[in-house]
Amino acid sequence: MIPQTSPKAIINEERDALDQAIARVLESGSYILGPEVEGFERAFAAYIGIDAAVGVANGTDALEIALRAVGVGEGERVAVVSMTAVPTVTAIRRAGAIPVFIDIDPDTCLMDLEDLDRRTFDTPVAAVVAVHLYGSMVQIDRLALWCQSRGLALVEDCAQAHGARLSGRHAGTFGDAAAFSFYPTKNLGAIGDAGVVITNRSAVAERARRLRQYGWNDERVSETEGLNSRLDPMQAAILGVMLPRLDARNARRREIAARYDRAFRDLPFGLQYIASEVEPVYHQYVLRTPERDHLAGYLRENGVATAVHYRTPVHHHPIYAPFANAPLPGTDQTAAQVLSLPMFPGLSDEEVDHVASIVRSFYRKP
């Protein structure tokens, strides 16, 4: 069986360096925050090209902390797509805010900025969360200007976009703050939960540092209601091993995507449209077809695992359904059609060609 994703392949490649990093943490005697966490925060900020990185326990917390750090408060409305991982909306709710669902453009699978403009005319929002889905990027330069002109906060959900760029500029540097997840299968993954908040605004970084640790100020006095959401030093040390290889692994993902693209040119299904100014990182390689479930079953019978991101858009999850007060036709149509093929840097050309040949045979093409 060819898996859809495989974090173990990367762990195996880096085994010696990881063992050394883990041993270093064990020997250090410092097991909460400390030099490993600070070292990774500096390295990640330098990689992205941003002033500050604040390591936290996971991507959901990163997003909650980012929202609260940029000033989104209790009862405020936040525009967001429903075509995302549930945690995007979990974080908005945990910040005490109310999601206002915006439809996607089915071609890009990303927030439709015209729909944002329309839906927020009657229902004003305090902030926008931009989700860079599947490793592509929202028209974030345009969206940042739109938010600026209205005095709205902009937070980027970069959980699927480590290293993606728009016109040469990294995902995560356009908003007031951005959140990353280092869940093991993400483009940059730990061997457990981990996340980070990044920002160019020193006051936002300061608030994020307080929020991640009981709301403490420098004197360990709690002035806000915080969380306990610190990046674990063991995960920081592991991420420090993985980070220098991120660009090479993203490049490999792009090679795999190009190989699929070539093999599928004459097939009757759509692919996620990626604008020319975006350098994507292919967290997922997604095709769309009304025959999605038949194709997935056929692939499985022929030894190829696939996944669906996401079969149930967030606004159809029972707990979030009350926030959906208007239909989201682009979202519903897309959720019924998307299929994620195997995509991870350890896939060989032969495996990619094998997957492609099975897809082609489903469409009766040699």
Ligand X SMILES: *Cc1c(COP(=O)(O)O)cnc(C)c1O
Q: Is 131 a binder of ligand X (CB under 6 A)?
A: yes
Structure token pair of residue 193: 């939960």
Nearer to ligand X (CB atom), residue 181 or residue 306? 181
Whole-number minimum distance, CB 91 to ligand X, in Å? 7
User: What does the block give as tokens for 191?
Assistant: 């061997």
Judged by beta carbon, residue 156 or residue 362, the one nearer ligand X is: 156
Which of 338, 309, 266 is CA-nearest to residue 107? Answer: 338
> Which distant-in-sequence residues (6+ apart) come within 8 Å of 229 by Cβ?
56, 57, 58, 61, 65, 211, 212, 213
Q: Counting contacts by CB under 6 A, is residue 233 touching ligand X?
A: no
**DSSP state for residue 245 in the 8-state scheme:** G
Sign of the torsion angle spanned by Cα atoms 103, 104, 110, 112 = negative
- Kindly state the smallest distance separating residue 119's Cβ from ligand X, in Å: 20
Closest contact distance (angstroms) between CB of 288 and ligand X is: 18
Q: State how far the Cα of 28 lies from the Cα of 272, in Å rounded to an integer.
A: 46
Q: Which pair of tokens denotes residue 290? A: 């009304």
Instruction: Find the helix or strand (DSSP H, E) in which 270 lies.
Output: strand 270-271
Residue 157 Cβ, how far from ligand X at the closest point, in Å?
Answer: 5
Region at 126 (left for phi over 0; alpha for psi -120 to 50; beta for the rest): alpha
User: Contact between 159 and ligand X (CB under 6 A)?
Assistant: yes
CB of residue 69 to ligand X, shortest distance in Å: 17
Among 160, 187, 250, 334, binds ligand X (CB under 6 A): 160
Calpha distance 259→273 (Å, rounded): 16
Provide the minimum distance between the beta carbon of 18 and ligand X in the complex, in angstroms, as a whole number. Answer: 20
Binding residue (CB under 6 A) for ligand X from 82, 136, 139, 181: 181
274 contacts 133 by C-beta, under 8 angstroms = no
Count of chain residues binding ligand X (CB under 6 A) = 15
User: Phi first, then psi: what are they for 356, rounded to 5°?
Assistant: -60, -40
Among 44, 183, 260, 285, binds ligand X (CB under 6 A): 183
Nearer to ligand X, 60 or 136 (CB): 60
Position of minimal CB gap to ligand X: 59
Q: Which of 278, 300, 291 is nearest to 337 (CA)?
A: 291
Helix (H) / strand (E) containing 60: helix 59-69
Radius of gyration for the chain, computed over Cα atoms and rounded to the nearest angstrom: 20
Segment interacting with ligand X (CB under 6 A) among 32-40, 98-106, 155-163, 204-212: 155-163
Q: What is the dihedral of CA 99, 145, 130, 246, to 10 degrees?
A: -160
By the rule CB under 6 A, 238 interacts with ligand X: no
Instruction: Mark the segment that binds ligand X (CB under 6 A) among 82-90, 121-129, 223-231, 271-279.
Output: 82-90
Which residue from 4, 5, 60, 284 is in contact with ligand X, where contact means CB under 6 A? 60
156 is an interface residue for ligand X by CB under 6 A: no
Give the span between the Cα atoms of 172 and 253, in whole angstroms.
20
Which range, of 99-107, 153-161, 229-237, 344-352, touches ligand X by CB under 6 A?
153-161
In the chain, the amino acid numbered 202 is S
**Would you state the structure tokens that stand for residue 338, as one six-digit string?**
């998307």
Q: Tell me how far, at minimum, the Cβ of 61 lies from ligand X, in Å.
A: 7
Instruction: Give the nearer residue to ligand X in terms of CB position, either 55 or 356.
Output: 55
Q: Which is nearer to ligand X, 88 or 139 (CB)?
A: 88
User: What SS3 class is residue 256?
Assistant: helix
Name the minimum Å distance from CB 5 to ligand X: 12
Q: Any contact of residue 58 with ligand X (CB under 6 A)? A: yes
Judged by CB under 6 A, does residue 229 bind ligand X?
A: no
Q: Where do contacts with ligand X occur on this chain (CB under 6 A)? A: 58-60, 84-85, 87-88, 131, 157, 159-160, 181, 183, 193, 195
